[in-house]
A and B are shown apart, each in its own frame.
Chain A
Amino acid sequence: MRLTRVLFATPKLPKSWSNFPERYIKRSMEEIEYKTPVGRQYRRAVIKRPDSDFVYGLDRPWTDGFKKFNEPGKLNRPQIIEPVPELFFKGDRVQILVGKDKGKQGIVNYIVKERNWVCVSGLNCKHEISKNFEGKKIVQVIEQPLVMFEQVALVDPTDERACKAQWRYTENNERVRISLRSGREIPIPLTAEETYDYKTRNTYKNQPKDTSAADLVKITFLPKLATFEMDIMEEHGIKDDRIPAEFYWY
């Protein structure tokens, strides 16, 4: 593959990978039709597309692909999505249970929690023929999503066969993922920790505006019989002996 093709390819962004605040994701995906201006004379009201109207695909909610998938005015039927425990992580070894790649094992490279979807690198692919800018035919290989538990299963690290998994607690009160067949722990891969900002938490490089780890942990709080305002006034030498007038709350 040409290097330029690789550079042009848009990277897939699992929600956890982006490291965005939940509030930002919600704000970027909402479609507001009308919102009253800010002011006391207006009753606060927002006319917007309800959250249940959005259908999640392989694109993440803050991208243009998601907006194209959920065009304004497009009617979407509510999806039947089974609530499942969070057992699949990016970088897990899984076995495919259905389709032409049945029985093959691969590594998870993308997860859509909203649909219980998992993409396995290089497996369960669709071949799409399209033309490039020169008019030449090119074949795109696109990984198709698989439904968790129904179409893919986790692999037991002891015998490398598909297994059922569950969350359990150790004696030290740590939550671990175990295989139900052998009872062995299935460790969570390091790639699950990866985000837009770092590969692993320990290798995060401090940015100029970040607080250093040592400063973050330092305890400077001393209990004192004073409110916040009283303490700050004392520090700055502000004295206020005025007695506030009596008032009633209602």
Chain B
Amino acid sequence: MSALVRRMSALLIQPKGSLLRFSAVAEKSDVKQSGDVEKKSDKTRREKQNFTNVEGLKQFFDEDNFFEDRVRSGRSWNLDELRIKSNSDLHKLWYVLLKEKNMLLTLQAAAKEAVEVMPNEERIDRVEISMENLELVVRERNKAYFDLEVGETGEQPVFVHTNWMGLQTLRVATPHYLPQRYNKSFNERHPLPFNDRNQSWFLNHYREKRSALKRRESNRATRHVCRLLRRNPNADIDALRERYPTVDVDAEKARLHYKGEI
């Protein structure tokens, strides 16, 4: 931990070369000695040098827990907890979370550079989960407004799209000024399916392979259930049914019993 702490504190005390400076006294005196009329470039340089927002920069670092190996933190925000908060509260909370995430990512990068273990890395996940939940709640509210006022969800529509190979995929629609039939560049990028002999050959073989994979997977599950039943004939049938929904557990058990294996 010590190396990491040293590096982080060094970042605060002695920033590198010409990037950012907390005090610009020496530089100011240099400018005065030249005595000439201030040029534009000098003026801009001095503005850069006058950076004194040390407190703002410090917010990128976890000052309170500099020497801690373990940092305790609460859980992330639930959807239900966010739903009872007003819009302005959510707006403020978003920036609180964003600042915390920035701080944690700075710490993670510093730890990586110093080849040290970051204390409690799961804090990043907790903040990210909260931010995702907050975004969901905001979308929910906007969707309710658009459904009521406009009769649409107000979100990017998603539809089933048949691509040039004849395969069906989900595509998220994007807004365009031109209708699709006049948009030449878009239609060139998204050609229609061929619908010819080669394509039907390809699709037949593709579907055959896909169904074989599916069948193999279900057979594997059935064999697994049989293995479980042979090991323990009194296994919990309800739990098996719930865990392997594709397998007819009762039929398999009856079959094994008829064969005399259980």
| A interface residues, Cβ below 8 angstroms from B | 19-21, 23-24, 27-28, 80, 82-85, 150, 197, 206-211, 216, 218-222, 224-229, 231-232, 235, 245-250
Q: Evaluate contact between B236 and A248: CB separation under 8 angstroms.
A: no
Q: Given the known inter-chain contacts A221-B85, A228-B87, A232-B87, please indicate yes or no for A245 contacting B177, CB distance below 8 A.
A: yes
Query: Which chain A residues lie closer than 8 Å to B232 at the CB level?
Result: 82, 150
* Chain B 224-255 near chain A by CB (<8 Å), digits 1 or 0: 10011001100110011011000000000000
* CB of B142 within 8 Å of the partner chain: yes
Closest residue of chain B to A219 (Cβ to Cβ) is B84
Segment among B10-18, B38-46, B69-77, B203-211 that sits at the interface with chain A: B69-77
Give the contacting residue for A80; candidates B85, B156, B231; CB below 8 A: B231
Across-interface contacts of B126 in A (CB, < 8 A)? 21
Evaluate contact between B86 and A221: CB separation under 8 angstroms.
yes
Closest to A23 in B: B125
B122 touches A220 (CB 8 A): no
5 smallest CB-CB distances across A and B, nearest first, come from: A83-B243, A210-B74, A24-B122, A220-B86, A83-B239
Residues in chain A near residue B177, CB distance under 8 A: 245-248
B228 close to A27 (CB less than 8 A): no
Which bracket fits the contact residues of B?
35 or more
* A198 CB, nearest partner CB in chain B, Å: 9
Minimal Cβ-Cβ distance residue in A for B143: A227
Binding site for A on B (CB under 8 A): 64, 72-76, 81, 83-91, 100, 121-122, 125-126, 128-129, 138, 141-142, 145-146, 148-149, 154, 156-157, 173-180, 186, 224, 227-228, 231-232, 235-236, 239-240, 242-243
CB-CB < 8 A to B156: which residues of A? Answer: 249
Tell me the complex Cα distance, A209–B74, Å: 8
- With A83-B240, A221-B86, A231-B87 known as contacts, the answer to whether A207 contacts B122 (CB < 8 A) is no
- The answer to whether A247 and B86 touch across the interface, beta carbons within 8 angstroms, is no
Contacting pair A248 B242 (CB below 8 A): no
